[in-house]
Structure 1
Amino acid sequence: MVKPEVTVITPTYNERENVVKLIEELDRCFKEAGITYEVVVVDDNSPDGTAEAVEGLMSKYPVKLVRRPSKLGLTSAVFDGLKYAEGTYVVVMDADLQHPPEVVPKLYVKALEGYDLVIASRYVSGGSAKFPLHRLIVSLGATLIARVLIPKARKVKDPMSGFFLVKKDVISKITPTSPKSYKVLLEVLALGSYRNVYEVPYEFRERVVGKSKLGFKTMLNYVKQVLNLTPDYVRFALVGASGTVVNLGVLAVLRYVANLTHEIASALAIEASIINNFVWNDLWTFKGGRSGSVASRLIKFHFSSAVGVITQYVISLTTYYYIVRNSIIAQSIGILTGFIINYVLSKKFVWSPRRF
């Protein structure tokens, strides 16, 4: 049997009618383009007979079926399907026909030009998506969150796309952070060792059969996924920003409600912000690097915070008196330097490094 050039992985749940049409259309498109292929369907025990429908096609088309006992998440479905993939390139797409099969050969052509990751995009010139208003708002909001928290997602116009082609040796090295999430591309963008990316425009189709599986649980899993993929330095900066809010809030309460002196209120506010930052860094930013007791990490964090503050002050004064006589610029340089010092000490001294 000839090794396929492309493996299409499509997760399914209650897609009996759609998956049959998808496989038929994929076969036509691949044959017209002269591309050898296989389809790996990963079914999560669909009660509508999706798996049985796929089995009925296996004698006619190069199709593999992976049965799973229950709904275990779209990302985990793709990576389970990957275990059976023989193609040099892997295409991930939905089975509901909203991702046009005729676009797949176009993705492959770009891969042959040397691109490791080729994304079918709704938001580049020539692409489009006809969403209801509420779906459009959700999509734009999710994209914004990804761009803010995952810097590598800013490389592309459509980081939320569920339709893409990637070299198998790129995706196979990834250990997904959120198996139950539904945005596989975010895992690839954040964790993949790809060299380059290209986006091919496509028109997102309207669903013909069945209903959308987007719900509150799906959105909650998405938020968890993004938080898991957020790099350490972004987490550290966000925690630092929350510490500033805590600092000012505690200061205001102690000064104007409790009527404490500025000296005492300021000291207590600083301590409150340090404890706030420690808790969030311990639980989120560096959660994979906890060692020793909580007390020892807290003491070390006080030390790293003190070094950061002193560094900020010294750099600010040095910049102001010897480089530029502008307080805002000098203080900004001091803050940035202090942040870097505090981050490095926290990562190397208080907590051990995470993997990304």
Structure 2
Amino acid sequence: MGSEPEVSVVVPTYNERDNVAKLIQAIHEALTRAGITYEVVVVDDNSPDGTAEVARALSSRYSVHVVVRPGKLGLASAILDGVRVSRGKYVAVMDADLQHPPEVLPKLVERIREGCDIAIGSRYVRGGATPGWSPLRRLVSWGANALARLLLPKVRGVRDAMSGYFVFRREVIEGVELNPRGFKFLLELLVKGRFSRVCEYPIVFRPRVWGESKLGVGEVVNYVLHVLDLAHDSVRFAIVGGLGTLVNLATVALTGYYLGVEHWLSVATAFEVSTLFNYSLHEVWTFKTGFRGGFLSRLLRFHGAVVAQLVSQMLFSNLLYYVYGVGRLAAQLVGIAVGFLLNYLLSKFMVWRRARR
């Protein structure tokens, strides 16, 4: 295999036949000119246009290693597979569509040499730009960055957490369990990685010349779910609670207005239906796996937590309204907040308490 290169450049590809040769040549010229030893790891999702074959043909001229996966498995997982087979001291990640300028690679590597753990090619620091973007795409990108900064504290100091162009020290991911989804590997790295310093260097994100963009509605949904997966479990708990409220109201409407059930029975049915709904989502999404006790035991404990929430909500709301003269809505809001907090704490530390390893 030869000596270890200083940097491994991981390039995920799917139907990039028209771009991959130009990209590899540009990477070679930029890094060789800067005196940086390298390898390019092309991870191809079995492109029907022959991208892998084009990349393999270049291995006689450049330091190129090609990994072909059985199908279209996603960009983030392709990066992870490329990182696993790479040998460099540092790992660079960039797209194959020539929108990321290869000439900036030496600058990013230089930032790592100077002490950064992660160096990001940023569109949103001074000197960065996104020429040719429509107002809608700019709005979507801004919203994606805003959502990440709002829900992920470790991302708040980063201007372009959505970048697909970055370099990091291999130590950043050593011993870290990564489960990236969709397009945004960098988010996973920023939230879970072991680092102390992140740097950003301006890039001009070029318009795509050949091929088609892979970004669609499905990737937007994947991104939102990814951010929520990385967020604190209290965020997911609150979202499930909100959905459960809608389920509760829908059940009351269905049983009361359409089935003619007595109101007290309709409310009791809605309580149980929404409790089961919330429990199911908490089990598979909010708190996920590795719990103590069995399914039925957790279900019974969760019912207890919900009852405790209702009692505390009523207690605080009535106390503030009748004893301290607080307005109805303000008193109810405080009661709801106290009830939510109690339910969350009971759920996290009693219902879905982690099993010891």
- 1:165-187 residue CA offsets vs partner (Å, 9 max, x unmatched): 122122344433345x2221122
Does the CA-based 8 Å contact 1:239-1:280 persist in structure 2? yes
Q: Tell me the residue number matched to 1:106.
A: 107
Sequence identity percentage: 48
How far the C-alpha of 1:67 sits from its partner, in A, is 2.3
Partners of 1:344 and 1:113 in 2: CA distance: 44
Query: TM-score w.r.t. structure 1 length?
Result: 0.82
How large is the Cα RMSD of the aligned pairs? 3.5
**1:225-240 pair list within 5 angstroms:** 225-240=226-241
Partners of 1:98 and 1:189 in 2: CA distance: 22
How far the C-alpha of 1:205 sits from its partner, in A, is 0.4
**1:258-269 pair list within 5 angstroms:** none
Gaps of 5+ in 2: none
Does the CA-based 8 Å contact 2:228-2:235 persist in structure 1? no
Q: Tell me the residue number matched to 2:164.
A: 162
Partners of 1:354 and 1:199 in 2: CA distance: 40
Which residue identity is paired with 1:159?
Answer: A
Moved more, 313-322 or 129-138: 313-322
The structure-2 alpha-carbon separation of the partners of 1:333 and 1:223, relative to structure 1 and needing over 3 Å to count, comes to closer
Which residue identity is paired with 1:345?
Answer: L
The structure-2 alpha-carbon separation of the partners of 1:144 and 1:250, relative to structure 1 and needing over 3 Å to count, comes to farther
Partners of 1:236 and 1:23 in 2: CA distance: 46
Work out the number of aligned pairs and report it.
352
How far the C-alpha of 1:98 sits from its partner, in A, is 0.2
Does the CA-based 8 Å contact 2:292-2:354 persist in structure 1? no
Q: Tell me the residue number matched to 1:26.
A: 27
How far the C-alpha of 1:191 sits from its partner, in A, is 2.3
The structure-2 alpha-carbon separation of the partners of 1:19 and 1:309, relative to structure 1 and needing over 3 Å to count, comes to same
Gaps of 5+ in 1: none
- 1:78-116 residue CA offsets vs partner (Å, 9 max, x unmatched): 111112222222111001110001222222222233222
The structure-2 alpha-carbon separation of the partners of 1:352 and 1:4, relative to structure 1 and needing over 3 Å to count, comes to same
How far the C-alpha of 1:117 sits from its partner, in A, is 1.9
Which residue identity is paired with 1:167?
Answer: R
Does the CA-based 8 Å contact 1:173-1:192 persist in structure 2? no
Does the CA-based 8 Å contact 1:82-1:172 persist in structure 2? no
- 1:221-266 residue CA offsets vs partner (Å, 9 max, x unmatched): 44553444343211001112233444556567778885956x7766
**1:203-218 pair list within 5 angstroms:** 203-218=204-219
Q: Tell me the residue number matched to 2:73.
A: 72
Partners of 2:55 and 2:215 in 1: CA distance: 24
How far the C-alpha of 1:18 sits from its partner, in A, is 1.6
| Alignment partner of 1:45 is 2:46 | yes
Q: Tell me the residue number matched to 1:139.
A: 141
Moved more, 79-88 or 148-157: 148-157
The structure-2 alpha-carbon separation of the partners of 1:175 and 1:100, relative to structure 1 and needing over 3 Å to count, comes to same
**1:183-222 pair list within 5 angstroms:** 183-222=184-223
Partners of 1:72 and 1:337 in 2: CA distance: 43
**1:1-356 pair list within 5 angstroms:** 1-129=2-130, 130-147=132-149, 150-178=152-180, 181-247=182-248, 270-289=271-290, 294-312=295-313, 335-353=336-354
Which residue identity is paired with 1:24?
Answer: Q
The structure-2 alpha-carbon separation of the partners of 1:287 and 1:268, relative to structure 1 and needing over 3 Å to count, comes to same
Moved more, 72-81 or 144-153: 144-153
Which residue identity is paired with 1:281?
Answer: H
